[in-house]
Amino acid sequence: MPREKKGNSSKFLPRKERLPIEIALLKLHSLLTDVWKIDEVEYVLVDELAYVLQGYEVLGTEMESGHIDVYVNPTVVPWLDKGERSIIPPKDSQQMNDWLWA
């Protein structure tokens, strides 16, 4: 029997065509610095993509899926920090809307 999906996935946008990494990174930078007013020294790209941008060849599912890992100083996000390892904008917040439409 298929597993029932949890959460309210209907709020997420239909799957978009993948952007070239250069454009995706520019949009991410703009969201963090221009929209959320997070200084460039308060976030960093990590894991596979960071290695690729440094010239390493990285293979695997994370690279195939276009996954981007970003560490952000939790004290500078524009919502209440709950001390979580993963910093995700709160459900139904303007920041989640920003994220979905970036």
> How many structural domains comprise the chain?
1
What pLDDT is recorded for position 2? 45
Radius of gyration of the chain (CA): 15
55 to 7, 20, 50, 85: CA distances (angstroms): 38, 17, 9, 28
Residue 86 located in a structural domain: yes
The answer to whether the predicted template modeling score (pTM) of the entire model surpasses 0.75 is no
Residue 61 located in a structural domain: yes
Q: What is the largest CA-CA distance in the chain?
A: 48
Residue numbers of the domain that contains 52: 18-94
Of residues 86 and 40, more confidently modeled: 40
Tens of pLDDT along 27-79? 999 999 999 999 999 999 888 888 888 888 888 777 777 778 888 888 899 98
What pLDDT is recorded for position 34? 95
